[in-house]
Amino acid sequence: MVSERGLQVLRAIVQDYVGSREPVGSKAIVERHAFGVSAATIRNDMALLEDEELITAPHTSSGRVPTDKGYRVFVDHLAELRPLSGAQRTAISTFLDGPGDLDDVLARTVRVLTQLTGQVAIVQYPSFARATVTHVELVQLGGGRMLVVVVTDTGRVSQRMVFVRSEFDDDGLARVRASLGDLLVGHPVREALLRVGDHLTAHETSASDDEAATSAIARVVAEELEEFRQDRLVLAGSANLARSESDFRGSIYPLLEAIEEQVTLLRLMSEMVADEHGLAASIGRENEPFGLAEASVVASDYDSTGARARVGVLGPTRMDYPTNLAAVRAVARYLSRLLDEDETAR
């Protein structure tokens, strides 16, 4: 059982090691932190922390560094998160304010988060399986090309090009648009997919230009709706892993592979257990089942029209957990508010 002063000593070791990258000794703790006890007493506290496998000696020096277990205890006993500065909060609002569809907002979210933390920033798309199609628009571009725009009530906007047999006059275009509207608008994504499938089966041998065009467009829409159902991530800041490569005992290749493939990160982000504030951390060896035993992920939940997803950062276990947790929480709250305001405006 770690005493209260032992926890304070652990906190000092974590903070000093994260800041300096150097093992932390008892003399440095006495000089930098107001414990009011001797270096010998701090050494005894450190010996107890080492017995609990919360700190370890990386080599023969007298200094100690936190273990993965030590980082976990440190995070679990954080009394409060370090507040963001006014400049950091201004950066969040500057990056995220302004018009844009969901894709654009999430891209801006990871850009600001990687700037704030210096880590790889990750944001999950909210689940669109229960989203409802609210609008379908068709724009003729000439040469048989048609731009198809599909919008859902979650703010997701899809734009795809499709080639049709011939150009349509205004009345013909209106008929095709109306047919697609009847097929899709007002229906959840799952149901809309089923309706598209039934339509394509029923019109396999369509002869009229209207029906052929509707079927061609419906096939493209089905591909987009299927993608709406799939979990996706947006990431930024992968180059930060190279800058912090010395913090990894082994290769950073597993992390780069996870970033490229996304499936592993999706599983990890989805399975992390959040506290009552919607914050979650998965540290070091806790990520071994995902092949990321030398990395940590901290994340916060955000809401988009009732669908919950996560925004977070990935980096080495030697990271500034209080600041990173505060950053992901602030960004998640701002993102939730922004998406809620956008939904209210619609």
Residue 65 falls within a domain, yes or no?
yes
Among 229, 249, 271, where does a domain finish? Answer: 229
Among residues 19, 34, 30, which one has the least CA distance to residue 62? 30
pLDDT at 345 over 60: no
Pair 27, 111 in one domain: no
Pair 197, 254 in one domain: no
Pair 29, 93 in one domain: no
Residue 66 falls within a domain, yes or no?
yes
Look at residue 231 in the predicted model and tell me its pLDDT: 72
Choose the most confident range, by mean pLDDT, from 81-90, 110-119, 238-247, 259-268: 110-119
* Domain membership of residue 296 as a residue range: 86-126+231-345
Domain harbouring 266, CATH code: 3.30.450.40
Pair 70, 202 in one domain: no
Number of domains in the chain: 3
d(Cα 338, Cα 246) in Å, to the nearest integer? 37
Pair 112, 240 in one domain: yes
Domain harbouring 18, CATH code: 1.10.10.10
Look at residue 229 in the predicted model and tell me its pLDDT: 63
Among 212, 229, 246, where does a domain finish? Answer: 229
- The alpha-carbon radius of gyration of the chain (Å, integer) is 26
Residue 270 falls within a domain, yes or no?
yes
More confident residue, 144 or 275: 275
pLDDT at 342 over 80: no
Mean pLDDT in residue range 319-332: 95
Cα–Cα–Cα angle for 192, 194, 199, rounded to 5 degrees: 95
Q: Whole-number mean pLDDT of the chain?
A: 88
Pair 17, 153 in one domain: no
Mean pLDDT in residue range 64-83: 90
Pair 202, 251 in one domain: no
Mean pLDDT in residue range 191-219: 80
Residue 319 falls within a domain, yes or no?
yes
d(Cα 10, Cα 341) in Å, to the nearest integer? 42
Among 187, 209, 229, where does a domain finish? Answer: 229
Pair 149, 279 in one domain: no
Pair 137, 214 in one domain: yes
Count Cα atoms within 13 angstroms, Cβ side, for 84.
Answer: 19
Pair 105, 50 in one domain: no
Residue 81 falls within a domain, yes or no?
no
d(Cα 117, Cα 115) in Å, to the nearest integer? 6
Domain harbouring 219, CATH code: 3.30.390.10
More confident residue, 306 or 36: 36
User: Token pair of 132, please?
Assistant: 């409802």
Pair 137, 120 in one domain: no
